[in-house]
Chain A
Amino acid sequence: MKSSARLALVSGLTLASMSFSQVVAHAATIPQPQYPSYSKNVTITWWTWTANPNNVIKAFNQVYPNIHVVPQDIGSGSKEYTKLATVLKSGSGAPDVAQIEYQMLPKFISSGGLQDISKYVNFTQSYFPSWTWNQVSQNGKVYAVPEDIGQMALFYRTDVFKKYGITVPTTWQQFADDANKLHTANPNMYFSYLPINDPGEITGLLWQGGAKLFQQTGPNSWNITINSPQAKKVMNFWGSLIKKGDVQAVSDYTPAWETALAKGEYAATPGASWSPAYVISPYVKPGTNNWNASDIPQWQQNGTFVDGDWGGATNAVTTQSKHPQAAALFAAFINTASSTVSLSGTPYTAGGRGLYPADKYASQLPQLNSAQSDLAGQNPQSVYSKGAASVNTSFQWSPWTDYVYNQMTVEFANAASGKETWDQALDNIQKNTVAFAKTEGYQVVDGSAASSSASSATGQAASSSSHVGEIVAIVVIVLIVGGALVIWRRRRTS
Chain B
Amino acid sequence: MSLRQGTASKIAFPLKNIIQRFAFLSLIVLSIALLVLGKADLVLMERVRTISVDALSPVLGTLSQPVNAINKGIERVRELASLIEENERLRRENERLQKWQAASLALDKENENFRRLLNALSDPLVLPITARVIGDSGGPFVRTLLLNAGSRDGIRVGQAVVGPHGLVGRIAETGRQSSRVLLLTDLNSRVPVLLQNSRHKGILVGDNSISPKLEYLQTNAQVSAGDRVVTSGDGGMLPSGWPIGTVSSVTEGQVRVQAFADWARLEFVSVLRYDLPGLTDQGTNPGDLGESRLGESRFGN
Is B one of A's binding partners? Answer: no
